[in-house]
């Protein structure tokens, strides 16, 4: 074999530490833990089955140790192909790689059938349109169509890029892990040690118990197949080489731990009779255990859904592994060269992916029974490859003792010998009868057929490529060039530690107690504006309508409201001097008119500015002095005229809270007047009135309402009721606002967004706002810009400055916005804002560096409470910190 060298890779360095851990772990925790736990417990008992899996894990651990050393030593695409090539030459490499490709392809094909089969467990009516029967398995049109659709989906995801496939893997694997953790945690709380009575071990006597444990141990290693995908994609990993070996071992440890704890949880929450009944009933013992642990059948479906995610993670992992193994063989001229083509944009081996994908599309036509035979044959192929890799580990220690080994295994002779022994034992389990995993004749036929196809490719490649057969270009890798500082720090790379640490340590801000008071009469729904006359007439005979200059008149809304009031015999007074960012002087002028006209009730008709002005006017009509005295706390009062709000724009939330934001024209201070008297006597939220909103206003107000909910949810003053409301509203905004902005919104979407905007006002009334609003008010006070546009420039940066102080909550928001961890919150916010054409900076809004000192001082002057309400306020809200943040926004 002639060895060449290369200094550059054709692949993108796409996989982070988290990605490769999830690829391996996700491959191992597929669907088996959902359907087979009852069988394992029935075979060996709860403790016996746990010991069996631990014993099987030890067998795999020795093999994994050889992989952990070889992978960072030869971080090249193909893994096993490269290891065996360096140790055994082309023929040995061909056998090893061809064997493991069988394993990968068989799993991909099997999962294509497993997914629709599992759907049938949950929804028996799913099977429609009988087509034919194969080996006793009935094939239906719906079953077949579902398998094909998902096969195409997984194929497309992998062609789109390694990172895309990794993101899917990360999300689904964490979902599986979360479901498993829920079961484990719930079983500890609701389980009972008495459930273990009579089912800790199976078999009579020590010899009988050991026999049952060994039976479980014999099958358990096949549930840990998947860690070997890491070396297949080694050339695409952007992680320090030494760390790759550690992650590979970690994936095995996590797999063993996961299976053992699931077995214990099932046995701890269900007694032997319940397990037997479940096993003989649905067969989904783990799902029934979940239902028992939570006393809810819904949770059983949650676990089944997690198991379905496991099917996809295994499918996705082995698609990655199989395509890379095919690519590596093609690179060595061992199979047709076209398998080595990379996609021009994504650098994925798209021909190999397409071939594996095509096989997964065709496989369901053969029925599930035949694919069970194929996957068993594939497992045999994987174990054969493991044995050859373990042998290569020993050979390379003898043959190339000076090879750089970033992750070096201690006592390599013992580890190597044990790895070869363990893999040889697993091979014998497939060969000798009575072991529980012995291949049946149909499965041996599959192995023979794959071997024959391999011989065809071997002969073809030898004849066509001649001396090129077995070509190997070693990738020269400098470990010194890969330091810890260069490790990819994406959200996915940190997901395990970030999410798990945050989820278990989420702050209960309300544990110290809280108050909640919001007396508002909310009248919500299409056509509800028709009630304005009757509601207002209950408070007197003269209504003052406060609005802006033209919009409600142009749309006819003003005339409609006035007519409804007059129909009830009311006299109306119009005050239409309100401007965006209403001024304190405007409010005082309106209050004088209200007094002069003996107004009994004030109606805010329009957007947030009109409603805030209406509150201020109603308040000042009953109180002496200037409004600024009340804003700054020099005076206080709980008196105001009755207020009825009729919003014509959503998002400001003014209709549902007890404060009114105004700007002092003398000094530019934009600050809120706060009093319980400002809570509307009634707010009529009619989505039909919002339909005339210009798209720019939809975008800006959508940003404002989202910021209300995010800030209230993460505020230091947050409490259970505001949390619940904010969590309900955020998805309503995120999932619907873009459609409204694009003019595609349905009646239902308009109602959802309008409701979310009103909720936003309610939550900030109680929990308050934080850094984003505190920094924006000086901006719009200085430049009179649209509040929502100012927030669009500020909020993502404010989130970046504060998320680490409440990772639990920012992580929840990020996931509702389509992200993953707290780090994703600001980027996902930016993505949403970009969809609304709000990717703006303060510089775009006319703010310059010269304005920064005043903005920082003013924020601390007008919004001290909001700054204190900010997570991590002591670190993020000093004048110097605010100046730095403002500078980064320009």
The predicted-structure confidence for 780-831, as pLDDT tens digits, reads as follows: 989 888 999 999 999 999 999 999 899 889 999 998 998 888 888 999 999 9
CB 289 within 8 A of CB 307: no
State mean pLDDT over 15-21.
90
Please measure the distance between the N-terminal and C-terminal CA atoms of the chain and give it in whole angstroms: 60
Phi first, then psi, for residue 684 (nearest 5°) are -105, 105
What is the SS3 assignment for 437-485? CCCCHHHHHHHHHHHHHHHHHHHHHHHHHHHHCCCEEEECCCHHHCCHH
**What is the structure's pLDDT at 6?**
58
C-alpha closest to that of 32 among 19, 55, 47, 49? 49
How many residues belong to the chain?
Answer: 890
Assign 290 to helix, strand or coil.
helix
CB 835 within 8 A of CB 680: no
State mean pLDDT over 636-659.
93
**Which tokens is 641 given?**
């005229």
CB 611 within 8 A of CB 604: yes
Q: Which of 364-373, 498-507, 859-868 has the lowest mean pLDDT?
A: 498-507
Does an H or E element contain 323, and which? helix 297-331
**What is the structure's pLDDT at 495?**
47
State mean pLDDT over 192-214.
88
**Residues of CATH 1.20.1090.10 domain(s) within the chain?**
694-890
* pLDDT tens per residue across span 81-127: 999 999 999 999 999 999 999 989 988 888 888 888 878 877 878 88
State mean pLDDT over 749-758.
95
CB 580 within 8 A of CB 613: no
C-alpha closest to that of 663 among 548, 770, 586? 586
Kindly tell me if the per-residue pLDDT of 155 is higher than 60.
yes
**Which tokens is 888 given?**
């980064």
**Which tokens is 198 given?**
């009579």
CB 778 within 8 A of CB 858: yes
C-alpha closest to that of 640 among 692, 668, 669, 600? 600
* pLDDT tens per residue across span 136-145: 888 999 999 9
**Which tokens is 253 given?**
């440890």
Does domain 518-691 fall into CATH 3.40.50.1970?
yes
Rg for the chain (alpha carbons), in Å? Answer: 33
pLDDT grade for 438, boundaries at 50, 70 and 90: confident
Q: Is 769 exposed, middle or buried (0-12, 13-18, 19+ CB in 10 A)?
A: buried
CB 509 within 8 A of CB 716: yes
CB 593 within 8 A of CB 572: no
**Residues of CATH 3.40.50.1970 domain(s) within the chain?**
518-691
**What is the structure's pLDDT at 33?**
84
**Which tokens is 755 given?**
């409701």
Phi first, then psi, for residue 427 (nearest 5°) are -60, -40
CA distance 559 to 529: 12
**What is the structure's pLDDT at 468?**
86
CA distance 662 to 632: 12
**Which tokens is 842 given?**
């303060």
- DSSP secondary-structure letter at 483? -
- DSSP secondary-structure letter at 410? S
**Which tokens is 862 given?**
């007008």
C-alpha closest to that of 348 among 319, 368, 371, 315? 319
* pLDDT tens per residue across span 34-55: 878 888 898 899 999 999 999 9
CB atoms near residue 362 (< 10 Å) = 13
CA 597, chain centre distance (Å): 57
CA distance 845 to 676: 34
Average pLDDT taken over every residue of the chain: 88
C-alpha closest to that of 49 among 275, 226, 220? 220
State mean pLDDT over 6-13.
72
Assign 583 to helix, strand or coil.
strand
DSSP of 506-569, one letter per residue? Answer: ---GGGG---------EEESTTGGGGHHHHHHTT-SEEEEEEESSHHHHTTHHHHHHHHHHHTT
Query: In 597-632, which residue ranges form alpha helices assigned H by DSSP?
Result: 608-620, 627-631
Q: Enumerate the β-bridge partners of residue 237.
A: 15
Kindly tell me if the per-residue pLDDT of 502 is higher than 60.
no
**What is the structure's pLDDT at 489?**
39
CB 612 within 8 A of CB 654: yes
Q: In CATH, which of 1.20.1090.10, 1.20.1050.10, 3.30.930.10, 1.10.10.10 is domain 694-890?
A: 1.20.1090.10
C-alpha closest to that of 690 among 852, 551, 799? 551
Determine if residue 744 is left, alpha or beta; phi over 0 gives left, psi from -120 to 50 gives alpha, anything else beta: alpha
**What is the structure's pLDDT at 247?**
92
- DSSP secondary-structure letter at 844? T
Tell me the CATH architecture of domain 3-501.
Up-down Bundle (1.20)
Phi first, then psi, for residue 715 (nearest 5°) are -65, 155
**Residues of CATH 1.20.1740.10 domain(s) within the chain?**
3-501
CA distance 95 to 86: 14
**Which tokens is 278 given?**
């479940």
Phi first, then psi, for residue 336 (nearest 5°) are -50, 140
C-alpha closest to that of 828 among 757, 723, 718, 735? 735
Kindly tell me if the per-residue pLDDT of 507 is higher than 70.
no
**What is the structure's pLDDT at 134?**
85
CA distance 544 to 594: 7
pLDDT grade for 479, boundaries at 50, 70 and 90: very low
CB 175 within 8 A of CB 306: yes
Phi first, then psi, for residue 548 (nearest 5°) are -85, -170
Does an H or E element contain 47, and which? helix 46-73
CA distance 734 to 650: 14
**Which tokens is 581 given?**
């960012």
CA distance 780 to 786: 7
**What is the structure's pLDDT at 486?**
37
Assign 154 to helix, strand or coil.
helix
- Say if pTM beats, i.e. exceeds, 0.75: no
**What is the structure's pLDDT at 854?**
94
Assign 83 to helix, strand or coil.
helix
Residues above pLDDT 90, as percent of the chain:
60
């Amino acid at each position: 074999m002639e060895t060449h060298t290369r200094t550059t890779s054709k692949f993108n360095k796409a996989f982070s530490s988290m990605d490769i851990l999830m690829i391996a772990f996700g491959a191992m925790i597929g669907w088996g833990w959902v359907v087979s736990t009852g069988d394992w417990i029935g075979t060996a008992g709860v403790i016996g089955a746990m010991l069996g899996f631990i014993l099987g894990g030890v067998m795999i651990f020795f093999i994994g140790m050889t992989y952990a050393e070889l992978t960072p030593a030869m971080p090249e695409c193909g893994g096993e192909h490269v290891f065996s090539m360096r140790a055994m030459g082309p023929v040995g490499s061909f056998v090893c790689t061809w064997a493991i490709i069988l394993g990968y392809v068989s799993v991909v094909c099997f999962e294509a059938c497993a997914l629709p089969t599992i759907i049938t467990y949950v929804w028996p009516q799913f099977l429609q349109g009988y087509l034919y029967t194969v080996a006793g398995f009935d094939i239906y049109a719906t079953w077949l169509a579902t398998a094909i659709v998902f096969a195409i989906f997984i194929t497309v995801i992998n062609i789109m890029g390694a990172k895309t496939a990794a993101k899917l893997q990360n999300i689904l694997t964490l979902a599986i892990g979360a479901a498993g953790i829920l079961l484990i945690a719930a079983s500890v709380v609701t389980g009972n040690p008495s459930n273990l009575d009579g089912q800790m071990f199976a078999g009579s006597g020590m010899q009988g118990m050991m026999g049952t444990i060994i039976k479980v141990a014999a099958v358990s290693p096949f549930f840990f197949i998947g860690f070997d995908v890491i070396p297949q994609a080694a050339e695409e990993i952007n992680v320090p080489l030494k760390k790759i070996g550690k992650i590979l071992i970690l994936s095995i440890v996590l797999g063993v731990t996961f299976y053992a704890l699931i077995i214990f949880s099932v046995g701890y929450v269900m007694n032997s009779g319940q397990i037997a009944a479940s096993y003989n009933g649905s067969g989904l013992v783990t799902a029934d255990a979940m239902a028992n642990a939570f006393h809810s059948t819904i949770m059983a479906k949650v676990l089944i859904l997690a198991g379905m995610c496991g099917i996809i993670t295994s499918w996705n992992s082995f698609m990655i592994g199989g395509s890379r193994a095919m690519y590596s063989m093609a690179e060595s001229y061992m199979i047709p060269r076209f398998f080595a083509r990379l996609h021009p944009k994504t650098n994925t081996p798209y021909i190999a992916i397409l071939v594996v994908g095509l096989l997964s599309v065709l496989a369901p036509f053969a029925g599930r029974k035949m694919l069970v035979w194929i996957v068993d044959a594939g497992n045999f192929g994987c174990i054969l490859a493991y044995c050859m890799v373990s042998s290569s580990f020993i050979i390379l220690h003898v043959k190339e003792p000076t090879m750089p080994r970033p992750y070096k295994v201690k006592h390599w002779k013992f580890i190597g010998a044990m790895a070869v022994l363990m893999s040889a034992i697993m091979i014998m389990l497939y060969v000798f009868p009575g072991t529980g995993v012995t291949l049946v004749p149909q499965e041996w036929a599959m192995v023979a057929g794959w071997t024959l196809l391999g011989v065809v490719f071997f002969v073809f490649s030898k004849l066509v490529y001649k001396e090129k057969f077995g070509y190997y270009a070693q990738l020269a890798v400098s470990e010194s060039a890969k330091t810890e500082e260069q490790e990819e720090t994406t959200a996915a790379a940190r997901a395990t530690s970030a999410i798990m640490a945050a989820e278990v340590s989420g702050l209960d801000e309300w544990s110290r107690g809280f108050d909640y008071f919001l007396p508002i009469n909310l009248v919500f729904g299409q056509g509800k504006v028709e009630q304005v006359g009757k509601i207002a007439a209950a408070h007197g005979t003269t209504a003052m309508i406060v609005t802006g200059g033209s919009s409600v008149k142009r749309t006819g809304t003003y005339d409609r409201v006035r007519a409804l009031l007059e129909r009830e015999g009311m006299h109306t007074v119009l005050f239409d001097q309100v401007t965006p960012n209403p001024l304190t002087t405007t409010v005082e002028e309106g209050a004088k008119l209200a007094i002069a006209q003996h107004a009994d009730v004030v109606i805010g008709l329009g957007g947030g500015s009109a409603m805030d002005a209406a509150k201020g006017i109603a308040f000042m009509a009953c109180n002496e002095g200037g409004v600024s005295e009340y804003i700054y706390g020099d005076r206080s009062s709980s008196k105001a005229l009755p207020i009825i709000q009729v919003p014509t724009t959503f998002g400001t939330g003014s209709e549902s809270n007890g404060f009114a934001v105004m700007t002092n024209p003398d000094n530019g201070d934009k600050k809120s007047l706060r009093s319980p008297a400002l809570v509307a006597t009634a707010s009529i939220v009619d989505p039909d009135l919002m339909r005339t909103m210009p798209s720019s206003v939809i975008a800006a107000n959508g940003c404002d309402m989202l910021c209300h909910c995010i800030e209230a949810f993460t505020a230091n003053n947050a409490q259970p009721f505001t949390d619940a409301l904010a969590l309900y509203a955020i998805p309503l905004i995120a999932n619907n606002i873009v459609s409204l902005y694009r003019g595609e919104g349905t009646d239902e979407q308009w109602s959802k967004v309008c409701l979310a905007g009103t909720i936003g006002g309610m939550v900030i009334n109680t929990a308050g706002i934080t850094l984003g609003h505190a920094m924006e008010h000086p901006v719009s006070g200085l430049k009179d810009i649209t509040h929502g546009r100012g927030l669009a420039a500020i909020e993502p940066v404010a989130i970046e400055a504060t998320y680490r102080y409440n990772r639990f909550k920012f992580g929840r928001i990020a996931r509702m916005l389509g992200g993953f961890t707290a780090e994703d919150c600001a980027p996902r916010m930016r993505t949403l804002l970009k969809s609304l054409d709000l990717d703006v900076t303060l510089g775009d809004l006319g703010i310059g560096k010269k304005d920064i000192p005043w903005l920082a001082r003013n924020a601390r002057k007008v919004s001290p409470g909001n700054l204190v309400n900010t997570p991590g306020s002591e670190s993020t809200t000093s004048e110097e910190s605010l100046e730095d943040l403002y500078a980064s926004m320009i």
